[in-house]
């Protein structure tokens, strides 16, 4: 659906639906709204920001994009008048079609949102495939890379992404339409976890972020290290994530992740990165790393002559990694249920569901305790189990753009 919108710039986009809905552009405000023939005007209050709106409605399920908060509401039928009203700026004039093509890229979000709400289920975009959902204070990008056509494929990453998505929706009230999931099972080519698609999604994640926004980047897949040529790493190695096409297109280096989603964070914006991958300890290149044994924040600045930027533009970035930079992360079937799961992802989501008000420090302790329990149970298992199930050696690592008290700060996304 989205590809057809890119290549064809018709005056109208008609969706075959029971209400014969037509998406048009207003001559005055140049925004996209719904109308139909015959049309009716309805006044109602946006269910998000409570501001009064005027919309052309044809049924009790016609969506309206609020001009104040940019969220979608469902109006109810009121007094009907035989005139067309722009659903965005409420101009009572006929919608001009010649202006439709102007500013087209800026309004793809409104088109995608309206189509996904109004079109029949067979035509509607899925919530995770909507490229530009409506404006919300919570937004997330979840990547589960399986490498299905390669020898080093992973079996639990899709389970991990689905597990994290469920946690965000149920425990942290993330709107479904504001979660973008990238896996190799997606039918939309833009949601395959290639290097290009992941980087585009990261840019989408932080675009136009505002004070009060909560952003989440989650990755489950392979992680690697490579020599550091910029002298901005204490250990001399850059950490990197492996997209599905990394052999051809290359890895996503921590420097690029830092400049893409850490630098743009404005004051009042909070970003959480949860990375279930090998060698992912300092994958966001943040200023401070928490030493759990000594209970202190340690400086992550390298002794470089060149000024190294590891800070935000006023916001806060926090990263929880599956292991230290020198360690490997694991996925396992030890947890039961269907298929495999990443150790960090499974234990993290389990701990939060059981302890909704858990602090960062308590969460780190809980993760380490659970990993030790798994290893002890394997030591008591049979010889065959010990042969085929290796010991889990990974220490989850917390890093941040600024110091905070991990013993009192509640883990919240």
pLDDT digits (tens, 9 = 90+) for 185-235: 999 999 999 999 999 999 999 999 999 999 999 999 999 998 887 777 887
pLDDT of 300 = 87
pLDDT in tens, 349-404: 999 999 999 999 999 999 999 988 887 665 444 444 444 455 667 899 999 999 99
What mean pLDDT comes out for the span 226-245? 86
Helix (H, G, I), strand (E, B) or coil at 409: coil
Q: Where are the domains of the chain?
A: 2-118, 138-400
pLDDT of 246 = 95
Alpha-carbon separation of residue 76 from 46, 55, 110, 152, 221 (angstroms): 11, 10, 20, 54, 46
Of 165 and 116, which is predicted with more confidence?
Answer: 165
Of 314 and 11, which is predicted with more confidence?
Answer: 314
Residue 126 scores a pLDDT above 90 = no
- Give the active site residues: 222, 278
Compute the distance between CA of residue 21 and CA of residue 25 in angstroms, rounded to an integer.
Answer: 13
pLDDT of 330 = 78
Annotate 232-283 with DSSP letters as a single string: --TTSEEEEE--TTHHHH--EEHHHHIIIIITT-BTT-EEEEEEESTT-TTT
pLDDT in tens, 143-171: 999 999 898 899 899 999 999 999 999 99
Instruction: Read off the pLDDT band of 65 (50, 70, 90).
Output: low
Mutual angle of helices 360-379 and 343-354, in 10-degree steps = 120
Nearest Cα to Cα of residue 336 among 353, 323, 350? 350
pLDDT in tens, 313-348: 999 999 999 999 888 887 766 666 667 888 999 999
Residue 277 scores a pLDDT above 80 = yes
What mean pLDDT comes out for the span 104-119? 35
138-400 topology per CATH? Rossmann fold (3.40.50)
Residue 96 scores a pLDDT above 50 = no
Calculate the average pLDDT of the chain. Answer: 74
pLDDT of 169 = 97
In the DSSP assignment, the letter for residue 329 is -
What mean pLDDT comes out for the span 281-294? 93
Asked whether the bond before 373 is cis by omega within 30 degrees of 0, the reply is no
Residue 239 scores a pLDDT above 80 = yes
Compute the distance between CA of residue 322 and CA of residue 154 in angstroms, rounded to an integer.
Answer: 16
Of 10 and 140, which is predicted with more confidence?
Answer: 140
Alpha-carbon separation of residue 378 from 244, 351, 384, 396 (angstroms): 32, 21, 10, 20
Strand partners, 276: 220
- Strands (DSSP E) found in 202-243: 214-220, 223-227, 237-241
What mean pLDDT comes out for the span 237-265? 95
Residue 282 scores a pLDDT above 50 = yes
């Amino acid at each position: 659906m989205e590809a057809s919108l890119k290549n064809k710039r018709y005056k109208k986009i008609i969706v075959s639906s029971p209400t014969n809905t037509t998406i048009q552009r207003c001559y005055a405000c140049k925004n996209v709204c719904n109308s139909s023939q015959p049309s009716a005007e309805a006044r109602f209050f946006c269910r998000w920001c409570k501001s009064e709106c005027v919309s052309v409605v044809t049924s009790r399920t016609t969506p309206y994009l609020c001009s104040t908060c940019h969220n979608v509401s469902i109006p109810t039928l009121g007094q009907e008048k035989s005139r067309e009203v722009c659903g965005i700026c409420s101009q009572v004039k006929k919608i001009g079609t010649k202006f439709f093509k102007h500013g087209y890229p800026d309004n793809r979000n409104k088109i995608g949102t309206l189509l996904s709400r109004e079109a029949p289920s067979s035509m509607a975009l899925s919530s995770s495939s909507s490229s530009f959902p409506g404006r919300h204070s919570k937004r997330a990008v979840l990547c589960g890379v399986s490498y299905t056509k390669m020898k080093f494929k992973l079996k639990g990453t899709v389970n991990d992404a689905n597990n994290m998505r469920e946690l965000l929706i149920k425990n942290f009230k993330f709107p479904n339409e504001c979660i973008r999931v990238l896996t190799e099972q997606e039918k939309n080519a833009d949601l395959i976890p290639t290097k290009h698609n992941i980087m585009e999604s990261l840019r989408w994640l932080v675009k136009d972020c505002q004070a009060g926004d909560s952003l989440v980047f989650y990755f489950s897949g392979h992680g690697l290290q490579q020599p550091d040529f910029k002298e901005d790493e204490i250990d001399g190695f850059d950490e990197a994530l492996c997209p599905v096409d990394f052999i051809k297109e290359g890895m996503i280096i921590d420097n690029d992740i830092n400049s893409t989603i850490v630098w743009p964070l404005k004051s009042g914006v909070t970003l959480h990165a949860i990375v279930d991958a090998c060698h992912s300890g300092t994958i966001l290149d943040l200023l401070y790393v928490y030493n759990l044994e000594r209970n202190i924040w340690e400086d992550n600045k390298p002794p470089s002559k060149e000024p190294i930027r590891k800070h935000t533009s006023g916001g806060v970035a926090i990263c929880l990694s599956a292991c230290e930079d020198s360690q490997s992360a694991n996925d396992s079937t030890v947890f039961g249920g269907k298929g495999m799961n990443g150790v960090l992802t499974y234990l993290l989501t389990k701990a939060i569901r059981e302890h909704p008000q858990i602090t960062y420090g308590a969460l780190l302790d809980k993760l380490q305790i659970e990993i030790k329990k798994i290893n002890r149970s394997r030591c008591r298992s049979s010889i065959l189990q010990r042969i085929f199930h290796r010991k889990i050696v990974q220490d989850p690592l917390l890093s941040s753009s600024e110091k905070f008290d991990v013993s009192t700060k509640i883990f919240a996304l």
